[in-house]
Amino acid sequence: MLQSSSLRYKMGSSVLRIGCSFILCCLGLGGQTTASIVTIRGTSQLRGTIEYAINSTKPIQVFRAVPYAKPPVDAMRFKAPEDVEWWNGERNASGASPICPQQGMSSPLMKEDCLTLDIYTPTIDVNASLAIQIWIHGGAFKDGSSSEFQGIAMATYENVIFISINYRLGILGFLTSNSSEAPGNQGLWDQRQAFMWVKENIKPFGGDPNKITISGESAGSIAVSAHILSPKTEGLFEQAISQSGTATAAARVSLMKQELPKTQLLAQTIGCCTNCTISELDGYMACLRNVTIEKILDLQSYTTPQPVIDNNYILDNPYNMYTQGKFKHVPYLIGFNGDEGANFYDKSIPSRSSLKELIKQYASDFYPENVDAIVEVAVPLYVDGRDTDKDRAVALSDFIGDLRYIGPSNDVGRKYTQVAPTFMYRFAHRPSSSTRQQWASAGHADEIQYTQGDPFVNHGSGSYTENEKILSGQIMRYWANFIKSGSPNSEDTPLQWSRFDCKEKGYLNIEQDGKFTSQKDYNVDRMFAWAETIPKLDSFRKNNQTTWKCDSTDTSRGATLFSFNIQCVLLMVLVDLISWL
């Protein structure tokens, strides 16, 4: 109920961006000419287009709809992806990319054979050894497309190869029978398959297979977080970027016992069985493979599968794995936006009593079994002292944003920094074209247009001020530096971005006016609640026996209390010693 406005916003934005991309590709706008032919391997060749950023004469070679796996159709529906079948001769890679099946989308480009990627490269010199950014789109694992995001600006101004990938969504991407018939996490396996394709085939496009950074936003960011945990992606990337999302957030990754009933319900609703049982799910898969895609999408309103702990791709609860240090030690750039929660509820102003009820209602979607205890933790942080209409609106936005994105991002950051370089950011610049509530700074997904250089390309939605163009250029430089070297800093960045550490938890703050400042200890009390207090109340994580501790110099409330307790113990020992003497 609270999510409906968010979904309308997200779908509307996706349709607009995909539509613009379709027009540019198919009508030849934006300065396109035929690109050179690239031979990938053997006799398999690709012909793309040459495109330009606004006011740039630097040609960018673009190859769209490049297949990276066998079509996941017919007998391959619901199964893990398999290697692409190579072709003989020249393949046209200048047209629009397909869109993986999803609700709310009516397009001739939407089809089940959608496992493709789009490549934007400044050169096809095999000796160029350029760094690569692989982009995983968001959309709650049920919406979105590679064609929403274009890398012309990154390739033009930062000399980085940008690759945007499609992956299966919704029922097709995450339905499971807990067997090879439908293993679950097909969408994540698809992404891995794309990583492998890039690793093996990027050299003819000017790329260095040992300079790959995976990146994503929202669901794409959660996927990045899952790939960092998975043993299946070892050696496939050197850095990672998570923009607004981690796999540790509540209700982002399910237990198998939560996902199998969804498959059972789907099989029974479609008519593949009358009294379906979980133990016989494999027997229903042949029937489900023959169901039309239209019918499957209709049923997605009733049940939407999601990433699952399958003891294969995801071995354990992501929160536990990060707590126990069971993740890849690659440099990590991670962050969030100033008002993440502003997208996810309507613009009505809650009263004090309704604010508490709305917090409970929203929390119940994520913590259904212990919601009252969690609300009691939230009230002093988000309800008490919020006396004006604006205060209460901001409070609800803060709660939603902290729950979904900001709390988990900070928690992962403080754990990750113990073993690998970690850089945290907060993006709070309100886009000049924003129509959100006046008090809101940057909402969910607002940063993408700046990190990918929309002000410099024809498909950029909305108009941009000169200051926003400067801001976008500066942010792209930070991102590109990180992609190239594992550090966002260089002599020409506006501010040295300090590593996030356990002591001060410093982060780069990109402010409302586009200024860059160094800040530390973001909302300590709220972050402590989401990192320590609330997880202990989460029944999903109740088997976690590991108590994670920062080093003794940490200034968070948890470390302060720990230090205080030690001091009390020492004082009591000293008093006893004096009494004995």
pLDDT band at 513 (very low <50, low <70, confident <90, very high): confident
| Residue type at position 517 | T
Does residue 457 have a pLDDT over 80? yes
CA 16 to chain centre: 20
CA atoms within 13 A on the CB side of 16: 10
Do residues 242 and 219 make contact, with C-beta atoms less than 8 angstroms apart?
Answer: no
Q: What is the pLDDT of residue 16?
A: 46
Helix axes 352-364, 389-401, angle to 10 degrees: 10
Beta bridge partners, 119, equal 63, 163
Q: Tell me the whole-structure pTM to 2 decimals.
A: 0.90
Measured CA to CA in angstroms, residue 343 lies from 7, 407, 562 at distances of 9, 17, 37
Does residue 417 have a pLDDT over 70? yes
Does residue 492 have a pLDDT over 80? yes
Which residue's entry shows tokens 């991670």?
A: 334
Pairing of the two strands 506-510 and 516-520? antiparallel
Cα(327)–Cα(229) distance, rounded to whole angstroms? 5
Q: What is the pLDDT of residue 35?
A: 73
User: Which residues are CB-neighbours of 435 under 8 A, at least 6 positions away?
Assistant: none
Q: For the stretch 9-27, what's the b/e string if a residue is b when 16 or more beta carbons lie within 10 angstroms of its beta carbon? A: bbbebbbebbebbbebbee
DSSP letter string over 479-492?
A: HHHHHHHS----TT
Q: What is the pLDDT of residue 463?
A: 86
pLDDT band at 349 (very low <50, low <70, confident <90, very high): confident
How large a percentage of the chain has pLDDT more than 70? 86
Burial class (CB in 10 A: 0-12, 13-18, 19+), 258: middle
Residue range 550-576: mean pLDDT, rounded: 38
pLDDT per residue as tens digits for the range 214-266: 999 999 999 999 999 999 999 999 999 999 999 999 888 999 999 999 999 99
Cα(461)–Cα(465) distance, rounded to whole angstroms? 13
For the record, the structure tokens of 213 come out as: 């950074």
Residue range 119-126: mean pLDDT, rounded: 98
Do residues 371 and 363 make contact, with C-beta atoms less than 8 angstroms apart?
Answer: yes
Q: What is the pLDDT of residue 84?
A: 98
pLDDT band at 31 (very low <50, low <70, confident <90, very high): low
Cα(118)–Cα(151) distance, rounded to whole angstroms? 9
DSSP letter string over 234-283?
A: TTS-SEEEEES--TTSTTSSB-HHHHHHHHHHHHHHHTS-SS--GGGHHH
Beta bridge partners, 214, equal 134, 240
pLDDT per residue as tens digits for the range 144-182: 999 999 999 999 999 999 999 999 999 999 999 999 999
| DSSP label at residue 550 | -
For the record, the structure tokens of 552 come out as: 């003794």
DSSP letter string over 452-519?
A: TTGGGSTT--S---HHHHHHHHHHHHHHHHHHHHS----TTSSS--PPP-TTT-EEEEE-TTS-EEEE
Burial class (CB in 10 A: 0-12, 13-18, 19+), 128: middle
For the record, the structure tokens of 204 come out as: 């003819």
Q: Which of 144-153, 181-190, 566-575 has the lowest mean pLDDT?
A: 566-575
Q: What is the pLDDT of residue 556?
A: 40
Do residues 334 and 422 make contact, with C-beta atoms less than 8 angstroms apart?
Answer: yes
Q: What is the pLDDT of residue 551?
A: 53
Q: What is the pLDDT of residue 151?
A: 98
Residue range 482-493: mean pLDDT, rounded: 98
pLDDT per residue as tens digits for the range 38-88: 999 999 999 999 999 999 999 999 999 999 999 999 999 999 999 999 999
Does residue 561 have a pLDDT over 70? no
Q: What is the pLDDT of residue 567?
A: 40
Task: Tell me how many degrees the CA angle 397-217-322 measures, rounded to the nearest 5.
Answer: 90
Alpha helices in 290-351 (DSSP H): 293-299, 318-323
Pairing of the two strands 207-217 and 239-243? parallel
pLDDT per residue as tens digits for the range 261-314: 999 999 999 999 999 999 999 999 999 999 999 999 999 988 889 999 999 999
What mean pLDDT, rounded, does the chain reach?
88
pLDDT band at 549 (very low <50, low <70, confident <90, very high): low
pLDDT per residue as tens digits for the range 435-446: 989 999 999 999
| Residue type at position 49 | T
3-state secondary structure of 35: strand
| Residue type at position 321 | M
Residue range 182-207: mean pLDDT, rounded: 99
Q: Which residues are catalytic?
A: 218, 340, 444
Does residue 29 have a pLDDT over 50? no
